[in-house]
Amino acid sequence: MAQATLTIDPAFTIGPVRRRTFGSFVEHLGRCVYEGIYEPGHPTADEDGFRGDVIELVKELGISTVRYPGGNFVSGYRWEDGVGPVEDRPKRLDLAWHSTEPNTVGLDEFMAWARKADVEPMMAVNLGTRGVAEALEVLEYANIAGGTARSDQRRANGAEEPYGIRMWCLGNEMDGPWQTGHKTAAEYGRLAAETARAMRQIQPDLELVACGSSSAFMPTFGSWEHTVLTETYELVDYVSAHVYYCEGDNDLGSFLASAVNMDHFIESVVATADAVRAAGKHTKRIHISFDEWNVWDQKRVESYIPSPTGDDWPIAPPLLEDHYTVADAVVVGNLLISLLRHTDRVHSASQAQLVNVIAPIMTQQGGGIWKQTIFHPFAQASSLAKGAVLRTLVDTPTYETAVHGTAGLVDAVATWDSESGELVVFAVNRAQDEATELAVDVRMAGLELVEATSYSHSDHTWQASPEDDTTVLPVANESARTTADGRVTLSLPAISWNVVRLRRA
């Protein structure tokens, strides 16, 4: 059996655990909004049409922030279509997903849902087909107390108090040719700067996110960030990062090592941002909003649903409804490990998306709800990661991948909550065929083993379904024990996500 060791000292920290790391994303795409968070007439729906069973699982999942309303959708969105009497709202063609948007759910409804789900809103403004004026109007509508046209419109629509939305995305993936209103880096950078400057004239303390590359695989990656940040550096707080991973060509070894690429991606964006900082002689640092990330495999037969075409413009067609495997869940857990260990520069993250669309939560129209495999590592990490992220030294055997080069069999991160006295280790085993023995060496006396759990299955392709989402759950790892020299050892199953909790005696 392969053996790995983690060395952890609570004196060496990377930065705080940030609640915003455990954010999600709700876009007007497929069945995410309609039949997802919103389904009037459903047995669990409340007086506003929101599914109560979805809200319960959102809270169980531990979501902190939700990015809204897109995504590609936002680049053609007219926010004012989604406020006021529902019967007066226009239906619009959504070019991003070749659908019809009924505008039954808009800003006011989303904010009502966010309050019920106890999540912080993260709003995106349209810088594809629109610009500075429209961004100022939606900000005025959302955040000004009253006495102006748009703020009084909000009050007339039933929201007496301002929403106080702090975090705003300045467009979405504007480097992508698929984006409505796609722009060059110079064009977008100038527009983002103008928009940010104007928004800060209304509310100086907003937190603003400039669009980074839509993927590290874009030909303009790096140069895009450099140009955009050169224009916007003193006006924004974050630059966005987006990435999705899939197995591809039946290369399980590379897929399990996806976090190696995420680490490199984050470090590349940080290097570019810091290069602009140095060249511009700036004092502050730009951090990362990793506001789209997940596993997404569009080639799977069971989850690939072609987008509508031609004259077919349906409302909320089922799109991108990936069914996730145990291996997918292990990769999602590993990506969370990567985000946590970069907590010094990744200050916010949004798993895309929340319901039905490449999502941890799935619903049936008029019926039940079920958890996908990727629900479980996210829920555990969100619940247990508290305090500070620690520098975790991982001594592990390695293997070679076709895509990411050398990767460790074991990857891990640890958090330490000095108030509760709890240290938590999150670890994955990428070995495909056998368990790996893990020794956790904590350079701190007086810690006792509380519990150890593992998430794995003999068939790593197992998927949850409406009929069965409980066969594979995190279960107690009975191999965990404390040795005479104070270390904790346990056997990590092949292709597994693992959590070890230690507490001060």
Report the alpha-carbon distance of residue 296 to residue 353 in Å, rounded: 10
Report the alpha-carbon distance of residue 107 to residue 206 in Å, rounded: 18
Report the alpha-carbon distance of residue 423 to residue 85 in Å, rounded: 51
Which of these, 86, 211, 198, lies nearest to 137 by C-alpha position?
198
Catalytic residue among 35, 137, 292, 422: 292
Beta bridge partners of 196: none
Report the alpha-carbon distance of residue 400 to residue 80 in Å, rounded: 52
| Chain-centroid distance, C-alpha 106 | 21
Report the alpha-carbon distance of residue 423 to residue 307 in Å, rounded: 46
Report the alpha-carbon distance of residue 277 to residue 275 in Å, rounded: 5
CB 21 within 8 A of CB 378: no
Enclosing H/E stretch for 189: helix 185-202
Report the alpha-carbon distance of residue 246 to residue 482 in Å, rounded: 37
Scan for tokens 């709890």, then name that residue.
Answer: 422
CB 398 within 8 A of CB 392: no
292 catalytic per annotation: yes
- Give the other-Cβ count within 10 Å of 428's Cβ: 31
Residue 504 vs residues 303, 397, 416, 420: alpha-carbon distances, Å:
45, 30, 11, 8
Burial class (CB in 10 A: 0-12, 13-18, 19+), 119: buried
Whether residue 90 is preceded by a cis peptide bond, meaning omega within 30 degrees of 0, is: no
| Chain-centroid distance, C-alpha 136 | 26
Report the alpha-carbon distance of residue 24 to residue 58 in Å, rounded: 10
Neighbouring C-alpha atoms within 13 Å toward the C-beta of 168:
29
173 catalytic per annotation: yes
Q: Specify the 3-state DSSP secondary structure of 88.
A: helix
Catalytic residue among 173, 225, 231, 247: 173
Report the alpha-carbon distance of residue 461 to residue 463 in Å, rounded: 6
Which of these, 185, 188, 239, lies nearest to 209 by C-alpha position?
239
Beta bridge partners of 439: 5, 489
Scan for tokens 């975790």, then name that residue.
Answer: 392
Residue 182 tokens read as: 């796609």
Report the alpha-carbon distance of residue 339 to residue 345 in Å, rounded: 9
Which of these, 200, 205, 207, 231, lies nearest to 136 by C-alpha position?
200
The residues assigned a catalytic role are 173, 292
